[in-house]
Amino acid sequence: MHIVHVVGARPNFMKAAPVIQALGTHDQLRQTLVHTGQHYDFNMSDVFFQQLGMAAPDVNLEVGSGSHAQQTSQIIARFESVVLDHKPDWVVVYGDVNSTVAAAMVCAKLLVPVAHVEAGLRSFDRTMPEEINRLLTDQISDLLFTPSEDGNHNLEKEGIAPEKVHLVGNVMIDTLVRLLPYARERTPDNTPDRYALVTLHRPSNVDDIAWLKSLFDMLLETSRDLPVLFPVHPRTRARMAEAGIEFSGGNSKLEILDPIPYIEFLALQNRAAVVITDSGGIQEETTYLGVPCLTVRENTERPITVSLGTNTLVGRDIQRLRTELEAVLAGKAKRGTAPPLWDGHAAERISLLLVQREAHFDATGNSRVRR
Ligand code: UD1
């Protein structure tokens, strides 16, 4: 059995690592890792491979940056020949980035079965590029692995056959569970005792310059009382530079940093008084860690982090952000629990299901493709 995994952007390296490792324990199984090159900077890509203990990709499509159409179409064009060359039995795609939908599309047209890890999540906001990627990928996948029950409900409503869908838990938490002991030893030097940790990169926050400026002013204001650590995504840095937003905050304790490697960022999350973010994965990680998270978005495709976890949606409302932040810092943060199956073993469940499915195909002689 030959499995091709496709990754391309930062959040998905952490999802693929445990699946590759779990599948590696099965005999007679060959794996090929394809990196689309969507993220290409050392600190957005290579350092994650190093820290996660992943071998370098077998194939790099080197597509780089571009408009959504350019990036997606380049991946489609270049990935097609990889699939034709390698003739995989399964292709596994992760999350909701452009690389995910592009790879799934190639496989659907070549009648190669696709498994989607982190299926079923919906923000119900079609202005988000990721929502389009999620909807399309799930429609054309043959096996769909969901991290939480809401994912199964969403897929059922969209008419996906229930036998394709498996609730397995959260693979990102597998990686967190594995590396948290190392993170505890790797807090970056000069980390303050108490601080807020901030990440912002979604188009809804950083492409609207007036809004970005007001968020930045609010962070500056906060940093007069509480140190604020802000590792800046390249997209955010570019927008700030275009808008002429100054990074220095006078006497404030707002620290603008480069993107941070996985283990050190986990260490910072684990010790933060509060996290302010628009990332999907960070909403999940803070829920697992029990750290209060204020999400600067109107919606989330991960509602379980709000209903069971420590996440609060503050929308696009500076006053609400201020009020929620004050409440957290006054010790009134909501308390949460880790959702079911976020237990460090999601990838093992995925690998068993993939191997069993293959055995079933072999035994019955049925075509793998059910379109
Ligand atoms: C992508 C994903 C988003 C995910 C995020 C994590 C899509 C639609 N979006 O958004 O879901 O949360 O990754 O980071 O796939 N850049 C660099 N170096 C890099 C990568 C990007 O400088 O290594 C710059 C480029 O100028 C690029 C911009 O960042 O144009 C945005 O990168 P891109 O991959 O297009 O989208 P992200 O905003 O990172």
| Shortest-distance atom of ligand 1 to CA 45 | 23
Q: Do residues 102 and 36 touch, judged by C-beta distance below 8 A?
A: yes
Question: Is pLDDT above 90 for 243?
Answer: no
How far is the CA of 310 from the CAs of 8, 282, 368, in angstroms? 29, 11, 41
Ligand 1 proximity of 203 Cβ (cutoff 6 Å): no
Please identify which of the residues 5, 116, 166, 201 carries the catalytic annotation: 201
Question: Is pLDDT above 90 for 248?
Answer: no
Q: Are strands 228-231 and 254-257 parallel, antiparallel or unpaired?
A: parallel
Share of the chain residues as helix, strand and coil, in percent rounded to the nearest 5: 45, 15, 40
Average pLDDT over residues 212-227: 94
| Shortest-distance atom of ligand 1 to CA 281 | 12
Ligand 1 proximity of 65 Cβ (cutoff 6 Å): yes
Pocket-testing residue among 7, 13, 39, 96, ligand 1, by greatest number of atoms within 8 A of Cβ: 39
Q: Do residues 115 and 93 touch, judged by C-beta distance below 8 A?
A: yes
Say what the pLDDT of residue 365 is. Answer: 60
Confidence of residue 370 (pLDDT cuts 50, 70, 90): very low
Ligand 1 proximity of 39 Cβ (cutoff 6 Å): yes
Report which DSSP code applies to 96: T
| Tens digit of each residue's pLDDT (9 = 90 or more) over 17-32 | 999 999 999 989 999 9
Q: Clarify whether 201 is annotated catalytic.
A: yes
| DSSP H or E run through 141 | none
| Shortest-distance atom of ligand 1 to CA 129 | 8
How far is the CA of 314 from the CAs of 56, 149, 242, 296, in angstroms? 39, 24, 26, 5
Say what the pLDDT of residue 371 is. Answer: 38
